[in-house]
Structure 1
């Protein structure tokens, strides 16, 4: 089940790009981040009625801390998509988002099989191949810079939430989104940025927020079932993001990056069989 939840996480994140980037292109990454986090709060609250969830102050605090990382990660991710190509930004974010929590899970006691560990290495290697793909030089530099910031934010946020208890259910997800929303509001105020999407794009913001909120819940359920497998399979979202970027937003995608996606899929198969 950990692999299934991880795949659902990656699918939710990738599809959120389909709708979220419309708001990014129209109002910028701050407005998109505010709208997405706001809607995701209610998605997470709704999950409390579906997933068995026991409130605990410690788990809620873990969620709040995790949300700061996710808030930074989302803002930097959208900033990178606006300035560069999804084929550069998304894989780099996913590489760090996979390596940091995976390493943390192993350090804290997770015991992956050898084939699963090799699969994780292969998957991360494929993500590196994608990241090293082309695109114009200035776009590559922008993509790497914002991708690094985003990946470190996501890596922290996804690592610390592993400490939440299994009985916490969706409560850490609620705390994550509340914290991330507060962070985005603070950033918006400091820059006097518009935070309300235009009327024609509010439906897109709503769908993106629902998908983002769902991704957090799937990830929490996944790490509770099996941290290492969930972390690696959740990092598959670049495959969806790159497809969306290429066919919907006309991002630059090179053959090397397509090959990298194939390597990632091979690595995930190893993780699944391990």
Structure 2
């Protein structure tokens, strides 16, 4: 049997690689669970590879070629699919984010990347790496703004963000930058494009004090949760872990201000920042 052709790296290689994996698996008469057992991974992991929500790593690609008899096809092409404009620890999450139908995110220290303005994103990227060349900062900012283009679609994905009051009070890039950043978030909420809640200081101790949470749902793949720390990141597909973090997020929304009250607070803080800038 003639094997599949190598993928064209310019034409959504991850999606094409996932489609070829599905075809090769079905030709072997294997379910996702059965293939997962042969690879020592879960069936949901295989589903995420096929849906393009998880990046194929070389070791998995090598095992796929052995199990499916694809003569090195997946190992050769996973290198093209692995190319990314994002930092290595975040690349898989960014790629999954672009495929998600719903995103729920809690941000304890900063405005989430999908909601950032160019000036705010630049201030964040520069703070992360104060000695980086300006060209590198430009590249990081462009990548962050390109991610936000998923919000150009009027309905999908559904983005529900819980912002900690600390992220709104932390003056990032100066007061003018903060005024613009908060107006931008408020505008997206006013237009009904995103749901935003603020978790106020007065809420006290809460369920997500350990850090940020990003939950992602997909049309044709199991949900994921993403954990991030300084220079590190991890995608998790374990159903029990995803359920636990979803419950954590539900507790946060119960403690946070209602969307309309949150919007009023965002607009008031933006006005305060703008006023203080001109004093």
Shorter-chain TM-score bucket reads under 0.3
Structure with greater strand percent: 2
Q: Which has the larger radius of gyration?
A: 2
Please report the TM-score for the alignment, with normalisation by the length of structure 2.
0.25
